[in-house]
């Protein structure tokens, strides 16, 4: 029996572990892929407080090291389900079963990918999913934003102030984002819209140099030279193991506000897996701290 089981070893989960351990709680962190979370795939992080510049991999390593030094147990295993029989929780994994007085879900979410060949290969080398994180690397260069929703349009506004050319590529005949954002972009001379078009191929040697586009209206393929693309076609949470444990929204995110409190007592959701507007490494860490303090209070309340 652990005081707290944390699902996910990204910035949210590891911050939660650090706070819970400092409150003298026994903590088990479960991670199914890579310790440190998605941030480990970012070659350079320049927006995390305390570091002018640090690689995502190094930041992840520091978080893991800090949690381990405080006494965290960390296991590599995939969570299949979490049951709530009453006074404790049962976390069922592929290779084991664990009991906890409280659970913090910090399973994160993934940027929805285009699903193209070589997409993983070019990630960090011309393909990005976060303009705020990687935009500075494309100053005075030509980039394309893939998508037409609010996130894509906000990315385009941000990039238009520093790039020589921004092309918004949308598979529909119109953008689905806010009209105000569309008006702002139409007023910028270095912004172009391409509608009814999808990306079919990514081209280049070690660095992305061009993309193959298909005009859906005329069924015509053509090459489009670009220094980088920012994919903004939505987020994809991995919350299926928790769908019977707590309430999810239509997109599959766990319904929880800034308190990280879910619909199930003793279960908290931190970071990108929950409903929220801003998904950044620093907000994930903030969620982790809040979730840990709430979980500690819950554990103490049931022990009285």
**Is 76 strand, coil or helix?**
strand
Query: Catalytic pick from 3, 93, 133, 163?
Result: 133
Q: Which two tokens stand for residue 265?
A: 């007592």
Q: Is 296 a catalytic residue?
A: no
Q: Is 273 a catalytic residue?
A: no
CB 64 within 8 A of CB 9: yes
Handedness of CA 194, 198, 204, 208 (dihedral sign): positive
Cα distance between residue 35 and residue 12, in whole Å: 12
N- to C-terminal Cα distance for the chain?
17
How many helices (H) and strands (E) would you count in the chain?
7, 17
Q: Which two tokens stand for residue 224?
A: 């489009």
Query: Catalytic pick from 134, 155, 272, 287?
Result: 134
Beta pairing class for 73-76 and 27-31: parallel
Cα distance between residue 207 and residue 127, in whole Å: 9
Q: Is 133 a catalytic residue?
A: yes
Query: Catalytic pick from 3, 93, 130, 227?
Result: 130
Q: Which residues are catalytic?
A: 130, 133-134
């Amino acid at each position: 029996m652990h005081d707290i089981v944390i699902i996910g070893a990204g910035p949210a989960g590891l911050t939660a572990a650090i706070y819970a351990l400092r409150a003298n709680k026994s903590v088990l962190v479960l991670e199914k892929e890579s310790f440190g979370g998605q941030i480990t795939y970012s070659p350079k992080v320049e927006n995390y407080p305390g570091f002018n510049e640090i690689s995502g991999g190094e930041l992840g390593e520091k978080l893991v090291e800090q949690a381990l030094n405080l006494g965290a147990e960390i296991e590599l295993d995939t969570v299949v389900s979490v049951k709530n029989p009453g006074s404790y929780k049962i976390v069922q994994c592929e290779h084991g079963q664990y009991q906890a007085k409280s659970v913090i879900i910090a399973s994160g979410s993934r940027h929805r990918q285009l699903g193209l060949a070589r997409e993983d290969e070019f990630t960090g080398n011309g393909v990005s999913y976060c303009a705020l994180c990687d935009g500075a690397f494309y100053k005075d260069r030509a980039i394309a934003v893939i998508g037409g929703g609010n996130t894509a349009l906000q990315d385009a506004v941000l990039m238009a102030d520093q790039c020589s050319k921004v092309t918004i590529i949308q598979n529909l005949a119109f953008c689905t984002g806010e009209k105000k954002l569309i008006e702002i972009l139409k007023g910028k001379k270095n912004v172009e819209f391409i509608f009814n078009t999808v990306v079919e191929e990514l081209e280049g040697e070690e660095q992305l140099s061009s993309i193959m586009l298909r005009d859906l209206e005329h069924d015509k393929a053509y090459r489009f030279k670009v220094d980088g693309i920012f994919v903004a076609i939505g987020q994809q949470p991995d919350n299926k193991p928790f769908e019977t444990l707590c309430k999810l929204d239509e997109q599959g995110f766990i319904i929880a506000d800034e308190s990280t409190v879910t619909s199930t007592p003793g279960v908290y959701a931190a970071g990108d897996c929950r409903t929220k507007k801003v998904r950044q490494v620093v907000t994930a860490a903030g969620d982790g701290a809040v979730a840990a303090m709430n979980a500690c209070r819950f554990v103490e309340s049931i022990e009285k």
